[in-house]
Structure 1
């Protein structure tokens, strides 16, 4: 993860961009991977850890109706989390993660290992992209794969 975080940092610095994160099931693991890098204060603006739905609503402005209709683990919520992190920060790029890392909490529609991601950018005309993935393994493995996916998605958005 360190390699991905360093690559993202170089790309953000080259663009003069700052990053904000909004994490649920990873509990700040993306922010931890980033801040493990010396000098990351030059491109990492802030991180939100919004594990509870109330925190998603209060800190990121996620619509309670979106949570009710789609559930916390959904692309709709991931998009709103990313847009909320962009709006409630000074960053030019924001990423979000919400999922079910396990070992409990899965359903037939959303089994353990289901993780949704959002990436938002362009403060003047906000744009957002999202995706849903399913990862195998235990809680540690799911969370690690989620961090790698979130960083990789941000890297892809930073390439010219």
Structure 2
């Protein structure tokens, strides 16, 4: 990805607070709206309960699609909306591992309203490492990238 493309992607990820996470179940895909956070490398962080369908799906089928957009700031009637579709591979962040606390800080900096959920031992954090993406800006700039 070129520097200008990285800047556009970083700006959109920073602006949006929720994403749609699509996981593959045994028969049907499951789509859920989730708070998320992003790392400087564009990894996406999600939290969820270990008993949820999406978490169980991610353990069995780690290939996911994430969609997010800034429709509240765009012109919906002319589809001038910045948006990105990210396909990546999910993996669990171990609660007792070295990455947990630094990634928890990143997540809570963006979504402090999620802090109460970290009290529960059944909470899990998942990282989605992007493999490909398709970006379209409200200004009609578009690009695709592979990682």
TM-score by length of 1: 0.28
* Structure with greater proportional strand content: 2
Structure showing greater Rg? 2
* Structure with greater proportional helix content: 1
TM-score by length of 2: 0.30
